[in-house]
């Protein structure tokens, strides 16, 4: 499997999370006889064209039938196949939700479901194509691991670790091609273990997916204003790295969660569920997509509309932080 360096980090960035996922599947396919990759008529749009050419016997197109895709995936996993089933995350998480609940949850089959175009990445396609509730849905299913990588190379690592894990995993792919690089060189990645990217004393930002990069920008801006900020890459939302959250509480006056997902039931919800059970915790600010359907626009427009750019995140944090300090 590839070792991360500044060269391939740039390549993974160019490919974005979707392309990095597809490229990593080629690495796995070359080594794992039992790998099967499934698509619901989105071979090209989920970046699998080259995979199909290289491994025609390992790609199974089920047509536009997501429920059947997960059902067949379950039958194959039951017989010992390692199955990756992928489509846009909105279709995956919602159209085939009950199949995921029964087959990946209840029966715990070794299936990896990979949601492409999560968050607001589908831009002009509109709300039917936005995957903004998927974390809430997936993490409500017992036994599922839920991962949202921060950049292209972390996608590679998440896919490799998911393939090694003998159980169900949901991988959320977000952002666009030319995704900003978080990791320039090799680093240890473990499902369920978050990564502290910078250390501060006033505010702890716990971010996931594309919002890790925006949070790092926000942290720099806040630092300039004299607010010292930690940033944690919470790539695994379930199981949640509660040890890291506990540490973050110990060191900060304000906990902030940032995600390209609905403010209902996502990372913010997961962290809040943990915090409400322990005494004397700092206040939590949940930053994400408000509970409304969007006006359709391109990705950058949508991020700005939802206050999810680095500078907007910094402003929100500063407002809350200053209010707390002056009250």
Partner 1 sequence: MDEVIIPIQKMAKRMREHALQMAFSAGANGAHLGGGLSMMDIMATLYGGILHLDPKNPEWDERDRFILSKGHGVLAYYTALAEAGFFPVEDLKKFELNGEFLPGHPVMNLKKGIECSGGSLGMGLSLGVGIALVGKMRNKRYRSFVLMGDGECNEGSVWEAAMSASHFHLTNLIAIIDKNNLQYDGCCSEIMNMDDFKAKWESFGWTVTETDGHNIKELYDAFSLCTGPFGKKPHVIIAHTIKGKGISFMENNAAWHHSRLSQKQYDLALAEVSGGESCLP
For partner 1, the binding residues (CB under 8 A) are: 57, 60, 62-63, 65, 67-68, 70-81, 98-99, 102-103, 106-107
Cβ neighbors of 77 (< 8 A, separation 6 or more) are: 83, 103, 109, 110, 111
Please state, in angstroms and rounded to a whole number, the distance separating the CA atoms of residues 76 and 69. 11
Closest contact distance (angstroms) between CB of 32 and partner 1 is: 14
Q: Which is nearer to partner 1, 105 or 209 (CB)?
A: 105
Q: Considering the complex, state which of residue 71 and residue 180 has its C-beta at the smaller distance from partner 1.
A: 71
Give the tokens for residue 170. 């949901």
Q: At its nearest, how many Å lie between partner 1 and the CB of residue 103?
A: 8
Is residue 274 within 8 A of residue 146, CB to CB? The reply is: no
- Angle at which helix 267-275 crosses helix 242-251, to 10 degrees, equals 70
Cβ 58 to partner 1, closest distance in Å? 10
Q: Which of 212, 207, 194, 182 is nearest to 285 (CA)?
A: 207
The residue among 63 and 126 lying less far from partner 1, judged by its C-beta, is 63
Contact between 189 and 155 under an 8 Å Cβ cutoff? The reply is no
Nearer to partner 1, 63 or 142 (CB): 63
67 vs 228, which CB is nearer to partner 1? Answer: 67
Q: Is the CB of 81 or the CB of 139 nearer to partner 1?
A: 81
Give 142 or 290: the residue with its C-beta nearer to partner 1. 142
Rank residues 83 and 267 by Cβ distance to partner 1 and give the closer one.
83
CB of 57 to partner 1, least distance (A): 8
Closer Cβ to partner 1, 99 or 148, answer by number: 99
In the bound complex, what is the minimum distance in angstroms from residue 85's beta carbon to partner 1?
11
> Any bridge partners for residue 231, and if so which?
198, 205
Please, which contacts does 302-311 make with residues 24 or more away whose CB atoms are closer than 8 Å? 302/120, 302/123, 303/120, 303/214, 303/260, 306/120, 308/211, 308/214, 308/258, 308/260, 309/214, 309/217, 310/213, 310/214, 310/215, 310/216, 310/217, 310/218, 310/220, 310/221, 311/217, 311/218, 311/221
CA atoms within 13 A on the CB side of 210: 26
Residue 143 Cβ, how far from partner 1 at the closest point, in Å? Answer: 13
DSSP string, 240-295: T-HHHHHHHHHH-SEEEEEEEEESSSSHHHHHHHHHTTSSS--EEEEEEE-SSPPP
From the CB of 77, what's the least distance to partner 1, in Å? 8
Name the minimum Å distance from CB 129 to partner 1: 21
**Facing residues of 112 across strands?**
84, 169
Phi, psi of 75, rounded to the nearest 5 degrees: -60, -40
Taking the complex as a whole, how short is the minimal distance between the CB of residue 157 and partner 1, in angstroms?
Answer: 28
């Amino acid at each position: 499997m590839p070792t991360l360096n500044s060269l391939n980090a740039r390549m993974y960035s160019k490919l974005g999370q979707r392309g990095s996922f597809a490229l990593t599947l080629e690495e796995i396919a070359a080594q794992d006889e039992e790998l099967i990759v499934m698509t619901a008529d989105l071979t090209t749009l989920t970046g699998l064209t080259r995979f199909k050419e290289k491994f025609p016997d390992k790609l199974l197109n089920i047509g536009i039938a997501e429920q059947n895709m997960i059902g067949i995936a379950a039958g194959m996993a039951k017989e010992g196949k390692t199955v990756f089933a992928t489509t846009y995350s909105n279709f995956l998480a919602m159209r085939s939700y009950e199949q995921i609940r029964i087959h990946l949850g209840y029966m715990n089959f070794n299936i990896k479901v990979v949601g492409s175009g999560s968050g607001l990445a589908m831009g002009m396609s509109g709300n039917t194509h936005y995957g903004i509730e998927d974390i809430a849905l997936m993490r409500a299913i017992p036994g599922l691991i839920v991962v949202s990588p921060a950049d292209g190379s972390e996608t590679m690592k998440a896919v490799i670790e998911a393939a090694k894990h003998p159980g169900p995993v949901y991988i959320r792919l977000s952002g666009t091609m030319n995704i900003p690089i978080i990791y320039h060189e090799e680093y240890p990645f473990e499902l369920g273990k978050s990564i502290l990217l910078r250390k501060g004393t006033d505010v702890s930002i716990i971010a996931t997916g594309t919002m890790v990069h925006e949070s790092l920008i926000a942290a720099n801006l806040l630092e300039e204003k004299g607010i010292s900020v930690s940033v944690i890459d919470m790539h695994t939302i379930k199981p949640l790295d509660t040890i890291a959250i506990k540490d973050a509480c110990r060191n900060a006056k304000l906990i902030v969660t940032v995600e390209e997902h609905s403010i209902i039931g996502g990372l913010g919800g997961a962290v809040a569920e943990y915090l409400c059970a322990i005494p004397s915790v700092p206040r939590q600010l949940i930053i994400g997509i408000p509970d409304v359907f969007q006006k359709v626009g391109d990705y950058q427009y949508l991020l700005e509309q939802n206050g999810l750019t680095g500078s907007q995140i910094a402003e929100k944090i500063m407002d809350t932080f200053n209010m707390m300090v002056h009250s």
